[in-house]
Structure 1
Amino acid sequence: MNPAAATRQKSIDEIREADQNFSILSEKQGMAKAFTTYAADDVIKLNDGAAPTVGFDSLRAQMSRLPTNGSVLTWQVLKADAAQSGELGYTFGQWMLTKKDDSVKRTVSYGVYMTVWKRQRNGQWRFVLDGGNSTPEPK
């Protein structure tokens, strides 16, 4: 494998791992912790039916308003890719949101997402753009 291809493949593997760890953190410590841990300072989060959230401080404020009712968001990477430079990449996958209401009834929603990742100066991957939409339950 030539050096450029090796750099790209290493970045793809790192982005996939970052995305999986992002989901694990969401499952274990909640969406607010996960999103604020993995977001870049210049993040843009696309919101269904609302204006995008722009910037880390706005994202943190948005996440602080999430209900703490035991909702759990997890996702699975289906595809990851990166630029040959190894500085930018994306993930695409499926998400699942499990909510509990006051009667402890569970409802599950499904969807797809895309996340754009950028290598930071310290070498860590942080997302700069994230969005998704709901879909029927996967078969």
Structure 2
Amino acid sequence: MKYSLSILLILVLTGACRTRVETPRAMNPAAAVRQKAIDEIREADQNFSILSEKQGMARAFTTYAADDVIKLNDGAAPTIGFDSLRAQMARMPRDGSKLTWQVLKADAAQSGELGYSFGQWMLTNKDEAGKKSARHGVYVTVWKRQRNGQWRFVLDGGNQTPEPQ
């Protein structure tokens, strides 16, 4: 009987002394702000790719670009400013090419105001004979939260790589 009572007393005291262990995000509001920004950046980048696939690169890039955007161009000078980006996109051939990408990593500042995404892109097109081809690469996009709360990219660039294995 004494043995059973001792075990019961230990269990009751152990349960009474146990405190709830909270996740770091719950204990640190800054970590929660940062994680929310990361999630929003991932979502914005995925929606950016979906828009590019469905309505074309020009529409996607001009929809998600900030006014002070800088777009790095492979083998050419960067495009600086929204008006320059819009003009560049208007000159793109409408040949049915599709640019899509997949976010591999995203991160954000503790403030939740600035972050980046990194991933792999694929550009598919067809030649005059209808034969499909694809180019592959990696990209990095810097995102900034706008005054209205939306995420817009302020810097975007990438380069071509061999096809991922």
Superposition TM-score, scaled by structure 2 size: 0.84
Q: 1:104 aligns with which of 130, 151, 164?
A: 130
Which of the residues 32, 39, 45 maps onto 1:13? 39
TM-score, normalised to structure 1, is 0.99
Percent identity over the alignment is: 83
State the alpha-carbon separation in 2 of the partners of residues 57 and 101 from structure 1.
31
The residue aligned with 1:39 is 65
Q: Please, which of 29, 46, 68 is the counterpart of residue 3 of structure 1?
A: 29
Deviation at 1:104, TM superposition (A): 1.2
Offset of 1:106 from its aligned partner?
A: 1.1
Q: Which amino acid aligns with 1:23?
A: S
1:17 aligned counterpart, secondary structure: helix
Q: How many residues align?
A: 139
Structure (1/2) with the larger strand percentage? 1
What 5-or-longer segments of structure 2 have no aligned partner?
Answer: 1-24
Q: Which has the higher contact order (CA 8 A, sep 6+)?
A: 1
Equivalent position of 1:117 in the other structure = 143
- Does residue 87 in structure 1 map to residue 113 in structure 2? yes
Letter in 2 for 1:112: V
| Higher share of residues assigned helix | 2
Q: Which runs of 5+ in 1 are unaligned?
A: none
Shift of 1:103: 1.4
Q: Match for residue 136 of structure 1?
A: 162
